[in-house]
Every structure is written in C-alpha cells, then in structure tokens.
Amino acid sequence: MIPAAFDYVAPTTVDDAVRALSEAGEDAKIIAGGQSLLPVLRMRLAAPSKLIDLGKVPELRGIREDGDALVIGAMTTHYEMQHDPLIAEHASLLALTANAVADPQVRHRGTFGGSLAHADPAGDLPAPALALDAEMVVRGMDGTRTVPAAEFFTDFFTTALRPGEILVEVRVPKTTGWSAHYEKFNRVAQAWSIVAVAAAVRVEGGAIAEARVALTNMGSTPVRATSVEQALVGREATPSAIRDAAAHAAEGTSPPSNADADAEYRKHLARVLTSRAVSAAVGA
C-alpha cells in the first residue's frame, strides 16, 4: 500500500516548522515519528497535501531538569524515555508506560509528543501525562503558550492545539521517590490497550500520602480517577485498602462498547486494573 502523493519539507528549527505549517494551510500535517500517521496514510484514510517532518529539529529532542519539573522534548522517542536516567529518577511512571507501547521497532521511532498530539484514546502516553499534571508547551505564529494536560485532550483524536500550532515540549512536575506502575490489558502482543491504568503513589511510613491515577480508553479522552485518588490518600498501603479505593475507578467514565469489550466489561476492568496498578506500584 502506497500513500497518496504529498509535498514534504523537513525544517531544522521550530520557527521554520511553525512558519511552514502556517503557510501550508489546513491540509498539511505534522509528522513526528510517524508510527500512527504512516499506517493511516498507507491505508489512505488521510491524504494531507504536505507533510512537515520534525525529525530534523534538534531543539525538539532531549530531556532536562528545570527546578521542580522535567522538560521533555516533543520528539523524544519511547525508547529514549525507557532508558533515560532523569525520567527513571523523577518520572518513573513515564518510563514504565513507554515500556508498554506497541513493540520495540515502534518504540524506536514513535515519540512522546507525537502520541500526545495524536490523542488516540487507546494510546498509552496520554493517561500518565494527565496523572502527572504535565503541561504542554505549544508554539504557533502568535508565540508560545502552555496548556495543562487536563485541558489538552478534548475528544477522540482531538486536542487543544489550534491550527498552526506545534507541541514543542512537555513539562512534567517531578515525582521523585514515588512508586509507579502502568497496568495494560490487551489480548495479543503489540496491541492497543482495551483498558489501562497509570498509577503513581507516594508512600510515607506505610501509608499512602499522595496518589495519582489515570485511565486509558475509558472514554474519548484519558480520564483522571480522582475519587480513587481521594480514597487512597491516608490509607495503609495494603491490598484490601487498595482494592476498596479501586472500586471507585469507573465513576464518571463513559467507556466505548466495541468488538474488544463492552462498556460494562471495561468498567470492571478499570476497577481490577486500578487495584493491580496501585498494588504493583507500592509492592503490596
């Protein structure tokens, strides 16, 4: 299968990329790692007039500390996130989630920024970004603005990015010393999540002091399980306490029904997987 013809440009700075996107108009598309976009183009589900490739923009790569946050370039690959020492120390949930994406070949090409901007409800990285209160730094012709993860994902494959804007980097508040786990449920190797749960907790003296939980594929966007978080805080980090809190996981969700699972089954999965994710994180 061969994509429909398109024009192609590979700018070397963010400014040039933003200008190219603005000049190319609405039919143009950004390509990051291309691991979601290229299959779509090959199947001719989309036919953009022009691709603007971010692969040759060095300033979109790399991970650095900035006070209480990590700043992760949008073109950082899943493979880099799996192996980066700063992410391992300050945002281990992201490394554990990157481990669960597709397969090794896809993780070598696919990017953090690409998967957030693509906003597939079954994609893995949006949920931990939401759980960790990440902030998306986006740039357009009018300058740079910051969008909290809670406002970034707006619908199926839809984000708060405006026409002409590019996701440049992601600021992730540090969760140094927290325990984390990403529990993914799928049927076969390299498949998308039917449901998955991203959990990060801070344990102090055997009790849960802080908790962050977000769900993958339980609606049109990733969902923060705030009632689980509230139920966990102050409780002993024991299996039964965690199971009680996880019983709230499906509250306020509107999961899809499709060939993989119906909505009721997804709600059941959300509760079970939340219990597993938090238990695995704290080692209970």
Partner 1 sequence: MRITVTVDGTKFTDDVEPRQLLVHYLRERLGKVGTVVGCDTSNCGACTVHLDGHSVKSCSVLAVQADGCEVTTIEGLARDGNLHPVQRAFHDNHALQCGFCTPGMIMQSIDLLADNPDPDEKAVREGLEGNLCRCTGYQNIVRAVRDAAAQMQGGAGPEAEQVAGAPATAGGTQ
Cβ atoms of 216 and 147 closer than 8 Å: no
CB atoms within 10 A of CB 34: 17
Of 69, 93, 67, 98, the C-alpha closest to 82 is 98
CA distance 29 to 88: 32
CA distance 245 to 257: 25
Binds partner 1 by CB under 8 A, chosen from 12, 13, 23, 39: 39
Contact window for partner 1 (CB under 8 A) among 3-11, 149-157, 165-173, 254-262: 3-11
Binding flag, residue 2, partner 1 (CB under 8 A) = yes
Contact window for partner 1 (CB under 8 A) among 27-35, 114-122, 164-172, 176-184: 27-35
Contact window for partner 1 (CB under 8 A) among 47-55, 89-97, 141-149, 206-214: 47-55
Tell me the per-residue interface mask from 55 to 84 with partner 1, x by CB under 8 A, - otherwise.
Answer: x-----------------------x-----
Tell me the per-residue interface mask from 149 to 188 with partner 1, x by CB under 8 A, - otherwise.
Answer: ----------------------------------------
Binds partner 1 by CB under 8 A, chosen from 103, 142, 151, 262: 103
Binds partner 1 by CB under 8 A, chosen from 7, 23, 151, 264: 7
In which element (H, E) is residue 203 found?
strand 195-204
- DSSP state letters, 163-191: TT-EEEEEEEE--TT-EEEEEEE-SSTTP
Smallest distance from partner 1 to CB 199, Å: 22
Binds partner 1 by CB under 8 A, chosen from 16, 19, 22, 34: 34
- Sorted by sequence, the CB contacts under 8 Å of residue 273 that are 6+ apart come out as 183, 185, 195, 196, 197, 249
Ranges within 191-220 binding partner 1 (CB under 8 A): none
Angle separating helix axes 263-282 and 239-246, nearest 10 degrees:
150
Q: Which lies closer to partner 1 via its Cβ, residue 6 or residue 157?
A: 6
Binds partner 1 by CB under 8 A, chosen from 187, 189, 206, 283: 189
Alpha-carbon distances of 246 from 100, 125, 242, 266, rounded to whole Å: 22, 21, 6, 14
Binds partner 1 by CB under 8 A, chosen from 20, 51, 166, 180: 51
